[in-house]
């Protein structure tokens, strides 16, 4: 039996398919499932969108090839291990941000604005490189540090003093330094 993506697009649909399979008298059925509701199409659309953006900016596609190869290796590893830990999930989620920063930095350099990208994958090196820029080299060498920081919650405008869902007196932080971030941890 073969079931398409819409047949397994949600828990409810999977339950319906399960009932259908169990209703057949034959017990040794072979079941073939597609990816959950448009999953494959969404991945392809995302990759096409990334490549189109690179092309429209007049950049070389090779700038993201190694990055996408790493993602492919990671996904293959998950398939082999059949395990997705929170750490690996967060690593996968960060690929979108890291891809956009690679493209953005390449474009800035192409138009003559000196910039470099620091990967969140190497957080210690990222912090040291950015801290060095912020504390003095910025004025002598206007390299623009671009850092990825992972998931951003978008239900608030900017960085607030606390969670507005917990305390209604949350206020925007007008200026944020590395020292202030460190003191909050």
pLDDT tens digits for 144-161? 444 444 444 455 667 777
Task: For 96-148, give the DSSP string.
Answer: HHHHHHHHHHHHHHHTT--EEEE-GGGHHHHHHHHHHIIIIIHHHS--EEEE-
Q: Rounded distance, CA 102 to CA 105, Å?
A: 5
Q: Do 111 and 171 contact (CB within 8 A), yes or no?
A: no
Evaluate if residue 165 carries a pLDDT over 50: yes
Tell me the per-residue pLDDT of 24-68, one tens digit each, with 9 for 90 and over.
887 777 888 888 877 778 888 888 899 999 999 999 999 999 888
Across the chain, the runs of DSSP E, i.e. the strands, are 2-3, 32-33, 115-118, 144-147
Cβ proximity of 107 and 144 under 8 Å: no
pLDDT of residue 181: 61
User: Both ends of the chain: CA-CA distance in Å?
Assistant: 53
Per-residue pLDDT at 110: 94
Listed residue (34, 28, 27, 30) closest to 13, CA to CA:
34
CA distance 44 to 148: 24
Q: Mapping DSSP to helix (H, G, I), strand (E, B) and coil, where does residue 24 land? A: coil
Q: Which of 109, 107, 105, 132 is nearest to 119 (CA)?
A: 105
């Amino acid at each position: 039996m073969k079931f398409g993506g819409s047949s397994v697009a949600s828990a409810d649909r999977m339950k319906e398919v399960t009932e259908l399979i169990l209703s057949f008298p034959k017990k040794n059925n072979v079941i073939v499932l597609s990816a959950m509701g448009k999953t494959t199409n969404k991945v392809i659309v995302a990759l096409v969108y990334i490549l189109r953006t690179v092309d429209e900016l007049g950049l070389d596609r090779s700038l993201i090839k190694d990055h996408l190869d790493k993602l492919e290796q990671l996904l293959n590893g998950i398939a082999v291990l059949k395990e997705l830990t929170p750490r690996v999930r967060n690593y996968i989620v960060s690929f979108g941000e890291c891809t956009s920063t690679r493209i953005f930095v390449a474009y800035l350099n192409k138009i003559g604005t000196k910039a470099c990208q620091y990967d969140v994958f190497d957080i210690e090196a990222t912090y040291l490189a950015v801290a060095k820029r912020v504390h003095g080299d910025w004025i002598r060498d206007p390299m623009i540090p671009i850092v990825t920081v992972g998931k951003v919650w978008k239900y608030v405008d900017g960085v607030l003093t606390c969670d507005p869902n917990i305390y209604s007196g949350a206020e925007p932080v007008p200026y944020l330094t590395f020292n202030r971030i460190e003191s909050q941890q």
